[in-house]
Chain A
Amino acid sequence: MMLEFDFEKNADKIKELKKMIEEKKDMKGALIPVLHDAQGIFGYIPKEVQVIISEGLNKPIAEIYGVVTFYSQFTLIPKGKYNIGVCMGTACYVKDSQKILNQIIKELGIDVGETTKDGLFSLEATRCIGACGLAPVIMVNEDVYAKFDASEVAEMLEKYK
C-alpha cells in the first residue's frame, strides 16, 4: 500500500520529531531511540521521515534505511487502526496458533505484514510475547485474547468493525 506523505497535515508531528531529535542528537547511539520516537509519533517511518532524521542526526539516509529495515518493530507502511498480533512463539505454536493465523488471513484477505485497504486492520505474526501461560495468545492493540481458538476469529473481528 503506497501512501502520499502529506507534509502539511503532518506539520505538528514533524515539529514534535524535530524536538526529539534536538534532545537526543548529542547522545551516544541516538539513532535507534530516535527511530522509536518516530515510529511512535507517525505510526510508521516513511522515506520522508527518514530524510528528516538523516538531516537532524547528520547520518547518511542509506544507513538509516538499513537500520529501519533491519528491526521488525519499525515499519515502512502504516499499521491499521487495529493491529492484530498472533503470537508465534513455541508455546503458542504447539497449541495451534498457526490455525488462528490462517483463519485471520482468510477472514481479512491480507497477508502477514499487510494492512487492509480501509486501514482498519493490520496483521502481524509476532515473536513470543512471554505470556506462555495463556497460550495460544493474540493481541489486538492492547487487548489480549488468551487461550484463543481459530473458531472465535470471526466473532473477535466483528467487535472492531
Chain B
Amino acid sequence: MDGIKSYVLICGGANCTSAHKDEIVKKMKGKIKEVGLKTEVQVLPKGCFGLCEEGPIFVVYPEGVFYSHVQASDINEIVVEHLLNGRIVDRLLYKGIVGKNIVTSLNDSKIYKKQTRIVLKNCGVINPENIDEYIAYDGYMALGKVLTEMTSEEVVEVIRKSGLRGRGGGGFPTGLKWSFAAKAEGKQKYVLCNADEGDPGAFMDRSVLEGDPHSVIEAMAIAGYAIGGSQGYIYIRAEYPLAIKRLEIAIEQAREYGLLGENIFDSGFNFDVELRLGAGAFICGEETALIASIEGERGMPRNKPPFPAIKGLWGMPTILNNVETYANISQIILKGVDWFRSIGTEKSPGTKVFALGGKISNTGLVEIPIGTKLREIIFDIGGGIPNGKEFKAVQTGGPSGGCITSDHLDVEIDYETLIELGSMMGSGGMIVMDEDNCMVDIARFFLDFTVDESCGKCTPCREGTKRMLEILEKITTGNGEAEDLVKLERLAYVIKDTSLCGLGQTAPNPVLSTLKYYEDEYKAHVFENRCPAGYCHELIQYFVADDCKGCSKCVSVCPVGAISGVIKQQHTIDDDKCIKCGECLEICPFDIIIKK
C-alpha cells in the first residue's frame, strides 16, 4: 500500500447503506480518480460505527476527522477541500466532536468516551468482508490458543469463571450451559448461534454480524472444541440480507484459510458452520422453537426438560448462544478472566450493547459496562430527548419487557435490577418515549405483536393474549369499563403462570409494568374518556381557542367539512363530524387549534 496518504472509512452498516450510501461511494471514488488522487487515497467500507442517527458516516484518516450526514452533493467538496487541499470541511463535521476550534477524535467524543467496546471493538474498524483484517486485529488467535494450549475442560472453566451471561435476554451463565453439554453423551453435538434477532427495536446482533462476522464464527469453533461438537449452525433472520451475505463470505474465507473444516491448526479438531435462514417467526428466538425450525418444522417450543444441552437438535446435545454472547468469547480467552471481571458488576461482568431508538437525539448502538445508570445512557450518551419534549419512559426488553419511568433513571442496569422493575434486559433494545406517547397504546402495540406471533401451541398464550388485546382495544377506543382493569391484571398473571414458553410467560409484562407505573393513564381512558398523551384517536377532541383570527385556512383543509365560521370571525369544530385527522392543527398559522 505504498504511497497511500489518506484512508476514507465509510460505514457499511444497514442504517447507513439504506441512506443511499452506495451512490455516494461511487461518486467519491469517481471524484478521487478525477482529481488524480487514486493512488494516494483509499476508500474502505467498514462495519457499523453505532451512530446511526448521524449517517451516512465518513471518517478520514490519518486525521481521524469524522463527517456525518454526508450527502451525494457534499462529495466534491470533501474530495477537493479535504483530500486535495488538506482543509477540513467544518460544516459537515459531526457536532459531538467539535470543541473550541479544535476537532477531537471520535474516541474522545462524549458519545464514545462513556462506552467500553468489547463486542463492537472491530465494528467500524475492519473491513468485514476481508478475513485478513480480522486476523490483523488478533482474529483467530483465541482459537489457535485454545486448540494448541488448552484442554476442552480448561476452556469451559475459563468461560465459567469469567461469569459471562447470555446476552440474548435470559442471562443464563454461558459457562454452565457449556459444561452441561460437555458432560452430555452423544455421538454428535451441535453448536448453534441464535441470530434471529426478533425484538423490535434491537439491532445489535445485526451490526455485529455485518461489522465483525468472524468474531462469531471463531467463538462457535471454540465452543465446538469445548463441548466436543464438530458442526455449527447460525440461525439468522431472512430479513437481514446484508448480514447473511457477509456471513457467507466470512464462512467461505475461513474455510479457505483452514480455520473451518478438518484438522484446524493441525490439532485434529474438525469444525464447520452452516447458515440456516429463518422465515419470519418471532417465536423462533426461543431455543427449542429455533431447534424445531432448523429441523424443518413449524417453530413451536418443546417442553423442558430435557434441556437442549442434553437433548437438542436432532436429539443430540446442543448449545445455543446469542450473537453478542459469542462476540465476547475470543477476548475472554485472550485477555483472561480477571480482565473481563474488572468490567461490569460482580454478578454480571462485562458489557452490554444497547440499541437506542425512539424519541432520543442520538439513535444508534452503544456498548456500556453492565451496571451503568440509565440516566447516563439516555442523557449523556443518547443526548436526551429532542424537540424540547419531556422524557416519559424507556422501554426495554421488547415485547417481553416493560417501561421504566423517570423515577428509576438512577438504577444501575443489570439483569436483576431490570426484572425488579418489571422489565427485563431482553436483547438490548431501548426505546425512549416522550410525553406524546400513550402508555396504554404502547401496551396495546406489544400485545398486538404477541397475539400475532404466538405459535398457538398452548392455550393461555394463544387465547389469553387475544383476550388481553381485546380489553386494551376497548380501553383505547374509549369503551373501557372499570372491571376491565381488574380483568386485565388477573388475566396477565394467569398467562404468566401457565404458559409453556418464555414468549407467553413474559407477554403480559408490557401491560403489568404500564399498569403499575401509569395507572393514572389507564384510569383517564376508562373513567374520563380522555387520553392524556393525546394519542388515542377516539378520545381526542379538537377545539378552536377563543382568539381565532378567522383566516379560514382550516376550513379549506378539513376533509369532512367539520369546521364552520365566517371569515375574520371565530370558527368552531363540530366534534360529531370531526375524524381527528389533525390537518387543521397542522395548517393553523396562529396555533389556535388545540388538541385535548
Task: Flag if A70 contacts B281 (CB, 8 Å).
Answer: yes
Task: Flag if A67 contacts B363 (CB, 8 Å).
Answer: no
B296 at the A/B interface (Cβ < 8 Å)? yes
Name the A residues within 8 Å of B357 (CB-CB): 90-91, 132-133, 135
Task: Flag if A73 contacts B295 (CB, 8 Å).
Answer: no
Name the A residues within 8 Å of B277 (CB-CB): 32-33, 36
Name the B residues within 8 Å of A33 (CB-CB): 276-277
Q: Quick one: which of B271-306 are within 8 Å of A by CB?
A: 276-282, 293-299
CB nearest neighbor in A for B586 = A151
Task: Flag if A131 contacts B298 (CB, 8 Å).
Answer: no
Which of A31, A88, A93, A131 is the one whose CB lies under 8 Å from B203? A131
Chain A, residues 18-31, CB within 8 Å of chain B (1/0): the string is 00000000001111
Task: Flag if A32 contacts B293 (CB, 8 Å).
Answer: yes
B238 at the A/B interface (Cβ < 8 Å)? yes
Name the A residues within 8 Å of B53 (CB-CB): 133
Task: Flag if A126 contacts B239 (CB, 8 Å).
Answer: yes
Which of A28, A32, A71, A146 is the one whose CB lies under 8 Å from B18? A146
CB nearest neighbor in A for B359 = A94
A128 at the A/B interface (Cβ < 8 Å)? yes
Which of B55, B240, B395 is the one whose CB lies under 8 Å from A133? B55
Name the A residues within 8 Å of B201 (CB-CB): 89-91, 128, 132
Task: Flag if B15 contacts A131 (CB, 8 Å).
Answer: yes
Name the B residues within 8 Å of A73 (CB-CB): 238, 278-280
Distance of B579 from chain A, by nearest CB (Å): 11
A109 at the A/B interface (Cβ < 8 Å)? no
Name the B residues within 8 Å of A95 (CB-CB): 358-359
Q: Quick one: which of A25-57 are within 8 Å of B by CB?
A: 28-33, 35-36
Chain A, residues 55-82, CB within 8 Å of chain B (1/0): the string is 0000000000011001111100000000
Chain A, residues 99-132, CB within 8 Å of chain B (1/0): the string is 0000000000000000000000000001111111
A144 at the A/B interface (Cβ < 8 Å)? yes
Task: Flag if B199 contacts A94 (CB, 8 Å).
Answer: no
Which of B281, B296, B395, B437 is the one whose CB lies under 8 Å from A31? B296
Task: Flag if B437 contacts A94 (CB, 8 Å).
Answer: yes
Task: Flag if A129 contacts B239 (CB, 8 Å).
Answer: yes
CB nearest neighbor in B for A151 = B586
Name the A residues within 8 Å of B197 (CB-CB): 130
Task: Flag if B203 contacts A130 (CB, 8 Å).
Answer: yes
Task: Give CA–CA (A129, B445) in the complex, Å.
Answer: 17
CB nearest neighbor in A for B231 = A28
Which of B15, B293, B298 is the one whose CB lies under 8 Å from A66? B298
- Tell me which of A32, A71, A93, A130 has the highest count of chain B C-beta atoms within 10 A of its own C-beta: A130
B429 at the A/B interface (Cβ < 8 Å)? yes
With A129-B239, A130-B14, A133-B363 given, is the CB distance from A32 to B203 under 8 Å? Answer: no
A154 at the A/B interface (Cβ < 8 Å)? no
B355 at the A/B interface (Cβ < 8 Å)? yes
Distance of B301 from chain A, by nearest CB (Å): 13
Which of A30, A32, A90, A129 is the one whose CB lies under 8 Å from B358? A90
CB nearest neighbor in A for B20 = A144
A134 at the A/B interface (Cβ < 8 Å)? yes
Task: Flag if B398 contacts A90 (CB, 8 Å).
Answer: yes
Name the B residues within 8 Å of A66 (CB-CB): 298
Task: Flag if B298 contacts A70 (CB, 8 Å).
Answer: yes
Name the A residues within 8 Å of B364 (CB-CB): 133
With A128-B201, A131-B15, A133-B15 given, is the CB distance from A91 to B281 under 8 Å? Answer: no
Task: Flag if A90 contacts B240 (CB, 8 Å).
Answer: no
CB nearest neighbor in B for A91 = B357
17 more A-B residue pairs beyond the given contacts A90-B445, A130-B202, with a C-beta to C-beta distance below 8 A: A35-B279, A67-B296, A72-B281, A73-B238, A90-B201, A90-B429, A91-B357, A91-B429, A94-B359, A94-B431, A94-B437, A130-B14, A130-B239, A131-B15, A131-B203, A132-B15, A146-B19
Nearest first, the 7 A-B pairs at minimum CB distance are A133-B52, A91-B357, A71-B279, A89-B200, A130-B203, A72-B280, A31-B296
Q: Can you spell out 21 A-B residue pairs with CB atoms less than 8 angstroms apart?
A: A29-B294, A29-B295, A33-B277, A67-B296, A67-B297, A71-B278, A72-B280, A73-B278, A88-B200, A90-B201, A90-B431, A94-B442, A127-B200, A128-B201, A128-B202, A131-B203, A133-B15, A134-B55, A135-B358, A137-B18, A144-B18
